[in-house]
Amino acid sequence: MRFRYTSYEVDPSATVPSGVLYRPEVTVDVIGPRGTETIQALVDTGSDETVFPASLAFAIGVHLDRKTIGQASAVGGHVVQLVPGNVTLQVAQGGRKCRWESTVAFLEVEQPEDEVALLGYAGFLEYFRATFDSQSHELELTPNDRFPPAN
Amino acid sequence: MATTDQPAPLVPRKFAGQWIAWNRDRNVIVASGRTLGDARRAAQAAGESAPILAKAPRANVRFLGGVR
């Protein structure tokens, strides 16, 4: 499955003089007991976790296991709270569909601006071979041998 | 040979830092909001019952990676 990067207009800077950011993002269905939310999330090889906003969990009826809250830090060391929850994830493209059960992390933040949707190693990248092509601005995902078998 | 999805249009700077709601073909931004829930509700009010929601990066703050 190949996914085009998404382009975003931002302020030009010394490192991004064009003022356009290209991000490897994938459209993923996040499926819970009470519904589905379709999110375009950043594929982030630097993230140990797959992370969605806690508000998404509430919207689709995912039970958050607060007995096992974890902590995480981003670059700079700011510590955030991650609450695990079980969902079904699905990506589809070009007639092919991949669907699997996963425990992901839901991020509780004080400022809405800090909400993120990241497809990291646990729950997502661990199941794929990922090839990032920054010339064509395409990400190719191929399920690997660890991809969970269908129930 | 794998096929590739259609490229989405450039997301304009006015949406920087917001959640945006695409239509299902991901060729039109139908709404936006400060939070994911705000964007979903605005999209539904605009007639898109099942939007694709995405967080646009801030215009002048670069993202350095996810949670670890």
Interface pTM, i.e. ipTM: 0.90
Residues of A whose CB is below 8 A from B10: 7-9, 20
Percent of chain A with pLDDT over 70: 93
pLDDT in tens, B20-58: 999 999 999 999 999 999 999 999 999 999 999 999 998
**Which residues of chain A from 87 to 106 reach within 8 Å of chain B, CB to CB?**
93-95, 105
pLDDT in tens, A19-74: 999 999 999 999 999 999 999 999 999 999 999 999 999 999 999 887 777 766 66
pLDDT above 80 for A143 = yes
A:B CB pairs within 8 Å: 140
Give the per-residue pLDDT at B5.
74
The string of DSSP letters for chain A reads: -EEEPEEEE----SS-TT-EEEE-EEEEEEEETTEEEEEEEEE-TT-SB-EEEHHHHHHHTPPP-GGG-EEEE-TT--EEEEEEEEEEEEEEETTEEEEEEEEEEEEE-SSGGG---EE-TBTTGGGEEEEEETTTTEEEEEE-TTSPPP-
Does A81 reach chain B within 8 Å, measured CB to CB? no
Q: What is the pTM of this model?
A: 0.91
